[in-house]
Structure 1
Amino acid sequence: MSRGRGWAADDGSAVAEFVMVNGLLVILTLSVIQLGLVLFIRNTVVDAAAEGARFGALADNSATDGIARSVDLITTALGPGYATNVTASTGSYLGHPALTITVQTPLPLIGLIGLDNGLEVSGHAAIESLN
């Protein structure tokens, strides 16, 4: 039986399907890796902000000590480019006097390239006193 070379022929379709499916799998894999990187950076910065707030809220420490602690933790874990904008403020949080450490850091979108100050997180801790 003779086969025509029209729309019914499927010669070479396996190669085309292989390329299309592998292209989608590569994009999906890279997207999951990028999401993991963003979550790692976010979780690290959140932990550093909370730890800096707890450290700075101790009775014998100040807000400057909390900022220094947060900067040290972020620099150690991620690098100095992620610890450039760390601030502290005092106020009320849930009805108690509290120290708030706020960190603004780059948000990576493609690899480590992303938006400057695209991610902002805060850590809160109740201020201790000796009274």
Structure 2
Amino acid sequence: MVSMLVVPLFLGVLQVGLFLYVRNTITAAASEGAHYASVINREPGDGEARTRELIDGVVRNELIDSVEGQATDVDGQPGVLVVVKAHMPPLGLWGPGISFTVEGHAVKETGE
């Protein structure tokens, strides 16, 4: 009877921990990808490729829905934005999955 309470609680804590790990890993990769693309002579596509490279092997590819790099404006300065859309499936057999989006921003370097 106690296991009916403890097992779902344990699985819930495990799911939250796994979600936080995946989200933080993807956020760090998106930020690093944006910084990589912000260097002179690099394009947003380079940041997108760098983000994918950082995510590969750390997070299952099936969890990543899309990675997009684009030029943007960061506080009035030219910048780079890398957006990663991903999802987490439910750990057990019940419950909905969680979709989430993370972004990485960086100010573009200029040759001045």
TM tier, smaller: 0.7 to 0.9
2:101 — aligned with what?
120
CA distance in 2, matches of 1:130, 1:76: 35
- Offset from partner CA, 1:101-126 (integer Å, 9 cap, x none): 00011223225x835xx111100000
Opposite residue 23 of structure 2, the aligned amino acid is R
CA distance in 1, matches of 2:77, 2:43: 17
2:7 — aligned with what?
26
| Structure 2 contact 82–103 (Cα < 8 Å) conserved | yes
Distance 1:22 1:84, change over 3 A: closer
Count of residues in Structure 1 that have an aligned counterpart in Structure 2 = 109
Q: Give the alignment's Cα RMSD to 1 decimal.
A: 1.7
Correspondence for 1:96 among 52, 72, 77: 77
1:52 — aligned with what?
33
Report the TM-score when normalising by structure 1: 0.75
| Structure 2 contact 45–70 (Cα < 8 Å) conserved | no
Share of identical aligned residues, percent?
33
CA distance in 2, matches of 1:122, 1:91: 12
- Please state how far the C-alpha of 1:27 moved relative to its aligned partner: 1.1
CA distance in 2, matches of 1:86, 1:103: 5
CA distance in 2, matches of 1:66, 1:33: 32
Structure 2 stretches of 5 or more lacking a match?
none
- Offset from partner CA, 1:33-89 (integer Å, 9 cap, x none): 000011111001101100000001111321111000000111121132234411112
State the structure with bigger RCO (CA 8 A, min sep 6), 1 or 2: 2
Report the TM-score when normalising by structure 2: 0.87
CA distance in 2, matches of 1:96, 1:40: 32
Question: Radius of gyration: which is bigger?
Answer: 1
DSSP 3-state at the match of 2:90: strand
| Structure 1 contact 71–83 (Cα < 8 Å) conserved | no
Structure 1 stretches of 5 or more lacking a match?
1-18
